Amino acid sequence: MLGGVIRHNKSIVRCGAFRALSSSSNVMTVRDALNSAIDEEMSADPKVLLIGEEVGEYQGAYKISKGLLDKYGPQRVLDTPITEAGFAGIGVGAAYYGLKPIVEFMTFNFSMQAIDHIINSAAKSNYMSAGQISVPIVFRGPNGAAAGVGAQHSQCYAAWYASCPGLKVLTPYSAEDARGLLKAAIRDPDPVVFLENELLYGESFPVSAEVLDSSFCLPIGKAKIEKEGKDVTITAFSKMVGYALKAAEILAKEGINAEVINLRSIRPLDRSTINASVRKTNRLVTVEEGFPQHGVGAEICASVIEESFGYLDAPVERIAGADVPTPYAANLERLAFPQIEDIVRAAKRACYRSGKVAATA
């Protein structure tokens, strides 16, 4: 984020050159990480543009695009009507001609209006053209549940898009993830679905000088071991990574040393890191906000059964959202999504510390 805001030693420093900062005490919000990634990639490559509802004059529904219209002008930061199918199609067409559009959905629930362009126009074109048509486009925006916005605005689309060949699906958790993965997505020659979380936008995370460097980029398809452990593997993505880490702290007080894997990439999925961890811990708990049937956790389970079945000392535990449309009432909404205590209980079951092993998701 050129000219962005970083908290440094509890004071606010406005800076144009990240690499000059100390790596020991930098803190960055996910919102600023995303803004900085888009800013730097637009600055480095004139082919990169941003298109979507309220991304310009309003500076983004969640202020991800703050300052970009003033800096790059209306030809590269384009406000659109409320027509997801229209502006997603324009973005795909621009990508056909060599531009690198970033298409923002106000929520990924609205991407269903544009799913034909994402799947049929973007994901399949390279294959159907025998490699002659590249579609370097990023579809990004908040995914999953927010708070009190009802069933039509509270769904996780990770499993939906991850089932489609031709797409790459990324799910950042921290500021480092958001910054490094979005840069990788913008530079990638293939269409990328970039699933953010609205409730993480304002969260602050420590970042190193390397992360703040304009050349920083994370590899697509590589998970991160957020916490090493030996007793049970916990896989998670997006907001659930934070829940898994908090659960691991609780488990540690009870003598269970959990390993927490931040998936980062849903498609491609880092099967090797997951299986290597399970072969060490001999137990697995998968965590996601999405529906249990045909979910990301189900795919991880299949991978572990296929590659590491002989290493398992307990049945795999799947923690997922309830198999119902998201309730609007706050008390019911909480029951519909995984909580920290659910992860703790599942890990203890896997370690045979309490309760019976779950028979279903």
285: nearest Cα among 206, 187, 358: 358
335: tokens are 């029951």
Give the Cα separation of 228 and 231 in Å (integer): 10
The answer to whether the CB of 274 falls within 8 A of the CB of 295 is no
Residues in the chain: 361
154: nearest Cα among 89, 79, 239: 239
Active site residue 153: yes
Active site residue 8: no
Give the Cα separation of 163 and 293 in Å (integer): 13
Q: Which of 40, 41, 53, 84 is catalytic?
A: 84
Q: Which of 41, 117, 153, 198 is catalytic?
A: 153
The answer to whether the CB of 338 falls within 8 A of the CB of 243 is yes
Q: What 3-state DSSP class applies to 63?
A: coil
Check residue 221 and give left, alpha or beta (phi > 0: left; psi -120 to 50: alpha).
left
Question: Which residues partner with 233 through β-bridges?
Answer: 259, 284
**Who contacts 250 (Cβ-Cβ below 8 Å, separation ≥6)?**
340, 344
298 by Cβ neighbours in 10 Å (0-12 / 13-18 / 19+) ranks as buried
Catalytic positions are 84, 153
